[in-house]
Chain A
Amino acid sequence: MSDVSWIDAVLTSARAQAVAALLRYFRDLDIAEEAFQEACLRALKSWPKNGPPRDAAAWLIMVGKNAAIDSVRRQRREAPLPQEEEISDLSDVEASTVERIDEADYRDDILRLLFVCCHPELPATQQIALALRIVSGLSTRQIARAFLVSDDAMEQRITRAKARVAKANVPFEAPSAADRSERLAAVAAMLYLLFNEGYTAGASAQGSRAALCDEAIRLSRLLLRLFPTEPEIMALTALLLLQHARARARYDEEGLVVLLEEQDRQLWDQKSIAEGLALIDKAVRHRRPGPYQVQAAIAALHARAQHPRDTDWGEIELLYGALERMQPSPVVTLNRAVAAAKVRGPEPALAMIEPLAAKLDGYFYFHGARGAFLFELGRSEEARVAFNRAIALANTPAEAAYIRHQLDRLAQPLP
């Protein structure tokens, strides 16, 4: 068999569009998915011989639609089986569909497909699992591996999520402008979760979970191509690219977390940074600030600094202040305090985070940052208590190892 890896790339890139249109026709996730599956099988048979169609998505939609209708008929045994030649004769399929499906339909179809995965009743992990299954087309096994659970557990999780979505009455009429922006916000949040799922995975899981970051970026670009004038979607894409640019520098050879300030900046991916900076640049020209723009602007300030000492911490503190006003949260305040510590020292920073103790008591980073401030202030015993608390709350072995390293530094007599 000849090399068909190009077909994989074409199928992956057409998937969201095709499944989204099939969902509109059949209004059922399982039927849409099976129809797409069947279309892919036929593509694998037909494309190596005939070459790729001009519009792969339109081909897959038409073939998938026909196949699903055939299969329904076959099950009902109402109509005689059509000849295989008839089904496979697809030469005219393309031209006719391309004209009928216009760009705006595609746009709302794909947004709807992404949106069904973010139903507010679905917990975050189910949203992401469902998006990876339905939108990205990852196998249950691949998703299970990324989440470090068994195949059966993941299968159940996805089945449960689909059942909830089926009950939830997905709206199929064309969305109003307000609905559309609400859907966009929900989808953006889900893509950010998906990215973070890969980003926080730790070095040991780099392979399967780092792929989640790539997928989040791919879907975010796709969304931006559909909504090219949305500054928050530009900024989300920028934010993901700027964070992901540091991927190679974030862990050392032993899998230990390397803090931003200690990273080898030569390892940062300059191409991703260039794209991220170009996008945030575009976004701010709209003068419609939003939380993703602020976060991307913060990431951009880090990316622009050739050396940690060049980092504009004063500006970063101001940006976290802006983010606090848009989306008040103790975690944002914690981040502002970390920036403040760089500008004004650990004492005011410690004062800023003490009131958060009750809310962030179960949060790894709170105790890690608090330990670091106390350590800088020479309050070693309190620092040790804070670091021990952080270790107990670490989400990954890499986080725990990082704090253990801090404890070792505490144990060393000061020079």
Chain B
Amino acid sequence: MHYAILCYHDENVVCAWSKQEDDAVMARLSRVQERLAAQGKLGPVVRLLPTTAATTLRKDREPPLVIDGPFAETKEQLLGFYVVDCASLEEVLQIAQELAAANPGGAYEIRPIGVFNPGSARA
């Protein structure tokens, strides 16, 4: 069984960390990650950029609506995620629109990735 571990924290607090504090947290995490990777248990590791960089595609209407900011509704839940490699927001939105056409309803939140480690775990 594969499990996703989704990270939540108060962004105001994390953004108030100094570079040293942030580096220290990342260093502690990478020690844990190295151990897990050596055991072949670690899949992709992703740190998203702040929600201010987020864009949301509401796909519960036609045509879907692009809004600035993160997905903030509580009546819908995070059910999965993709990682795509694109040159611009325009391109990601195009892919999201295609996915939306295949699966209307709900929303896609598009968040630029800050740290991406594809990992060693196998499907």
Contact = CB atoms under 8 A, between A and B. Distances in A.
A12 B89 contact: no
Given A274-B114, A278-B112, A221 B52 contact: yes
A88 B55 CA distance: 42
Contacts, number: 65
A228 B52 contact: yes
Interface residues of B, number: 27
A160 interface: no
B50 interface: yes
Interface in B75-107: 88-90
B117 interface: no
A278 B49 contact: yes
Contact of A274 (B10, B15, B49, B67): B49
A222 B50 contact: no
B52 A224 contact: yes
A225 B16 contact: no
Contact of A12 (B16, B52, B55, B115): B16
A229 B89 contact: no
B13 A10 contact: yes
A228 B68 contact: yes
A243 interface: no
B50 A285 contact: no
A218 B15 contact: yes
Contacts of A275: 49-50, 53, 112, 114
Contacts of B89: 278, 281-282, 285
A325 interface: no
A261 B106 CA distance: 47
A9 B11 CA distance: 11
Interface in A12-39: 12-14
B69 A228 contact: yes
Interface in A259-308: 271, 274-275, 278-279, 281-282, 285
A118 B19 CA distance: 28
B114 A271 contact: yes
Contact of A13 (B13, B19, B21): B13
Interface in B1-50: 10-13, 15-19, 21, 49-50
B15 A13 contact: yes
B13 A285 contact: no
Contacts of B13: 9-10, 13
Nearest to A286: B68
A282 B114 contact: no
Given A275-B112, A278-B112, A13 B90 contact: no
Interface size class of A (residues with CB under 8 A): 20 to 34
Contacts of B113: 274
Nearest to B66: A285
Of listed B12, B49, B69, B115, residue having the most chain A CB within 10 A = B12
B81 to A, nearest CB: 17
Contacts of B53: 275, 278-279, 282
Contact of B51 (A10, A225, A285): A225
Nearest to B56: A228
A225 B50 CA distance: 10
A378 to B, nearest CB: 43
B69 A13 contact: no
Contacts of B112: 274-275, 278
A237 interface: yes
Contacts of A14: 12
Interface in A189-230: 214, 218, 221-222, 224-225, 228-229
A221 B16 contact: no
Contact of B69 (A9, A214, A229, A274): A229
A366 to B, nearest CB: 34
Q: Which of A5, A9, A278, A279 counts the most B-chain CB atoms under 10 A from its CB?
A: A278
Nearest to A223: B52
Contact of B10 (A13, A229, A279): A13
26 contacts: A5-B21, A9-B17, A13-B10, A214-B18, A214-B19, A218-B15, A221-B15, A222-B15, A225-B51, A228-B52, A228-B69, A229-B69, A237-B52, A271-B49, A271-B115, A274-B49, A274-B114, A275-B50, A275-B112, A278-B53, A279-B52, A279-B53, A281-B88, A282-B68, A285-B66, A285-B90
Which 9 A-B pairs rank lowest in CB-CB distance, beginning with the nearest?
A228-B69, A13-B12, A278-B112, A13-B16, A278-B53, A12-B16, A281-B89, A224-B52, A229-B68
Given A9-B17, A13-B13, A225-B51, 20 more contacts: A9-B21, A12-B16, A13-B10, A221-B52, A222-B12, A225-B12, A228-B52, A228-B69, A234-B68, A274-B113, A274-B114, A275-B49, A278-B49, A278-B53, A278-B112, A279-B52, A282-B68, A282-B89, A285-B89, A285-B90
